[in-house]
Structures are given as C-alpha cells and as structure tokens.
A and B are shown apart, each in its own frame.
Chain A
Amino acid sequence: MKVRYEPFGAWVKLESTPALVALDRDGVRALGLDGGLAWRDDAPPTSPIEVHLAVTQRCGAGCEGCYLDARPDGLEPPRDVMLARLDALRDAGVMTVAFGGGEPVTRDDLGELAEEARKRGLTPVLTTSGLGLSPAKVARLGSFAQVNVSYDGAGEDYAAVRGFDGTRAAETAIGLLTRGGIRVGVNVVLTRLTLPRLGDTLRRARALGAAEAQLLRYKPAGRAASLDYYARRLTPEQVDSFGETLSSLTVEHASEPRMSIRIDCSMVPFLSGSPAVYDHPESLVRAGIFGCEGGQALAAVKVDGRVAPCSFVPSTTLDAAGLVAGHERDADLARWRAYPTSAPEPCASCAIAAVCKGGCKAVAAFVDGAYGPDPECPRVRAFRARPLGAEAAS
C-alpha cells in the first residue's frame, strides 16, 4: 500500500484491491507511522491525489461537444516532455494519473508512457473513444489499471451526444480490451435526450464486458461552450430525480458480474435533490464521494504542460514542472481551494457542501459568468426562485 500523509491522517492506496482509504491519525499510527510535519497545524495544503494528463491534442473524431476542441492536427508533446511531466507528478506525491487527450491511442508510445508511470509509482488509467484501437495496440496497454471507453449509448444516442455514430468503434474497443485482460469502464455523457435510455445503455455496456460505468455531466467547455448547451443539458426534472435514478441503477447492476456505477464530481450537487442522501451527508463522506476538488485532490495538466484546477476550465500560469511548490502558491488554485469555506448561500447552509464544494465551476462560469454556486443544483434553483424579499424576511 502507498501512504500519503494528509492533515487529517493519510490517504492509503491499496494494491490488493482497487481502493483509496482515508485514515485518521490514529489509524495511521496503527500502521506504525506518524505524519510528523504533515500533521502540524501550519502544514501546507497537499498536492492532488489524481491528475488528468493530456498526452495529445490530436483527435479525428470531431465530437460536437469536445471539451478540449481537439483536432487531427493538434499538439502532441514528445516523449521526453511527457516523461518530465510524469516525474513532476511523482515528485508531487500524486497517486493516479488519468491519460486523456485528444485521443490518446494516436500516440505510438502510449503503452510505454503507462509503463513509465508505473515505474514512478503512479497508477495510470486511460480514456479513449476506441477509434483506432487495434488488437496490436491493446496488447501494449497492459500497464493501465483501467481503460474507459466513451460510450454514450448505441446508434442515435451516441450520435446525439457526439454528432456522429461511433458505436461500432466503441463496442469493438470494449470487447478488445476485455479479451485483452484489461479492466474496462465506459464513460457515458448524459444529455436530456439520452438519459431516458441510460438503463438500456448500461445494460448493453455490461453485456459487452464493462466493469464500471462512469456517468458524466454534459459540460459547456471547448466546442460545447455554445448556446446548444442549453438544449442538451439535463432538465430540472431529470436533475431532481437523479438520486433515484442512481439508486435504481446501482441496485440493478450490483449482482455478479457486477458493474460499478460512478458519477463525476459535477453531479454531486444533483444529490441535494435526494432526501435519502441530503439528510445523511455523512454517508457521502464515508463513501469517499468527491465533489469539486479543483485546487485540492484534483488537477489537470493540459497538453501545453500548464496546470488547471480541472480539464474544463482555463489553465493557471503554473507549469507541471513546478507542481510541488506551485500547487500551494498558485493564486488561482488557492482561490479554488478557498471557495468552499466562503461560498455564498445557498451553499453556505447546505448539508452536503463539505463534499459538493459548490458544484461545477465550469457550468457556473458559463451560465452565470462567475465561479459561483452551480446554477443547475436543485437547491440553488430553489434559492434563486424564491419570492423577492424572502431572504430579508427569513
């Protein structure tokens, strides 16, 4: 197991089972360890535990909603540059590195980069559309702990999200990877048109061999930062019932062969519409749910090497090479870290604010023009819809 000290105790990444455990200080002491300097009151904030690393900007898919605006002639850093970035992540104490792009499988050295990540003690994972993934390429991806294939549904559902039908490539990739002995997940972007058929999509993915389904909120970044966003985002009714949807899906897929259901950080505010969750915020903490972790547990290293709070927002001026010291000092990252402690209403009084941390800043920035409360959160919607004067009267 790998242990990384934190002010609360330590994050422990197990090897025998894919899990990350937050131990309090006494738990760490039971391992025979002591956090020392990391446990002092004046200890600096720690580095991200997970970094999303763009290994290329090249992609020929041309998805309408690409959050990076990836293109066939995009920038692709040479191998030595990528190795230096992996060095920087290792030195910062990062645990998991998620390779993305562009389309990462366009790199001939992708498997070698994963091996190099392993040598540095990092756990490499990968996201791909499946386009261009051949049996020969799959044979070189064995160092990845998991590969997620973008799979928004079959046929028209895939096309509704990405503008073309990539179903065949995605389903072929899931099969190739599964037969290659690689744990496979699917990334499912949810829009108002595709959510009603999410059950069918997940059943099909599971039948193809997926062990995990990552549900993703459609986000207004890159080519998706357009008016079209408003026609694709989930409806308020879909958001309000999202907790029930999740509950139903997790129960359905809990039997063997089990498929885990995962939600992205931007969907945590949707859970405020679920009394079963909202009334028991401690359950979110125990389950290790992460809301907006930009500037904290999460960072993105974009293809030019600049660090960002997450992949959907503009980069800071910090270069990956300076992550060790810069993560604490960078003003933008510090601002993101500070947001949850000074968030305005209705976040300030929200029971799950400590986990949610204000929701998706990328959505807030696009819809409201500022990094504020997530405008699509059920509580935020209700707060903004209250009668004029209600705040003064309360």
Chain B
Amino acid sequence: MPDPETRVVDPAHIRALRVGHGANCSSIGSVVDTLFVTALLGGAVFAAVMAGLATEKVEVIPTPKAPRRDDHDDAKLDGPAA
C-alpha cells in the first residue's frame, strides 16, 4: 500500500463527489452548491478532498465479497481473491 506521504490520486479518477453528511431520515439528499457555484466553492472543496485521499488511513469496509483490510494489518494487504 502506498505510503500516505506519497499516495496520489489523479483527480481524473474521481467520478463523483458528494459533499456533506446530510441528516434527513426520509429521502436521500444531495448538496447542489458545487452544481451551481462551481467556481466559488469547487476549488476549496476539491482541495480538501484531495488532501483527505492523500493522507487518511485506509480502511476497507468488509462485505461478503471483500474481507476487511487496513493499513495496520500487514497480513491482509494482499488483494481479495479475484
């Protein structure tokens, strides 16, 4: 796994960016700020996201098809069976 100091995700590989937590309990919401005021907000939000992708500890959410792995579990660093 790349060192967090050197991990770089090309922005071209970001398909979608959903901003915020949201807290509605009845229908799924989407922030539209970046849809309408991209120039004003997009840059700052994007910079924060890129920094997070580069530095945050990685934890793979376990699913029935993909066993849990994380940065501190060397025994599990091999990719899931293909």
Contacts and interface: CB of A to CB of B under 8 A. Distances in A.
19 contacts: A16-B52, A18-B21, A21-B17, A23-B14, A26-B13, A30-B10, A30-B13, A37-B66, A38-B63, A38-B80, A127-B23, A214-B23, A262-B22, A286-B17, A310-B27, A310-B28, A311-B27, A312-B26, A324-B64
Interface in B28-48: 28-37, 40-41, 45, 48
Interface string B48-82: 11011101111111111110010000000001111
Interface string A1-24: 111110011001011111111111
Contacts of B30: 262-263, 265, 268, 287-290
Nearest to A23: B13
A224 to B, nearest CB: 11
A30 to B, nearest CB: 5
Contacts, number: 280
B14 A262 contact: no
A98 B25 contact: yes
Nearest to A221: B26
Interface residues of B, number: 56
Interface string A22-38: 11101100111111111
A182 B63 CA distance: 31
A35 B22 contact: no
A52 to B, nearest CB: 5
A33 B22 contact: no
Interface of B: 1-2, 7-10, 13-37, 40-41, 45, 48-49, 51-53, 55-66, 69, 79-82
Contacts of A290: 18, 28-30
Given A31-B53, A254-B40, A263-B32, A36 B80 contact: yes
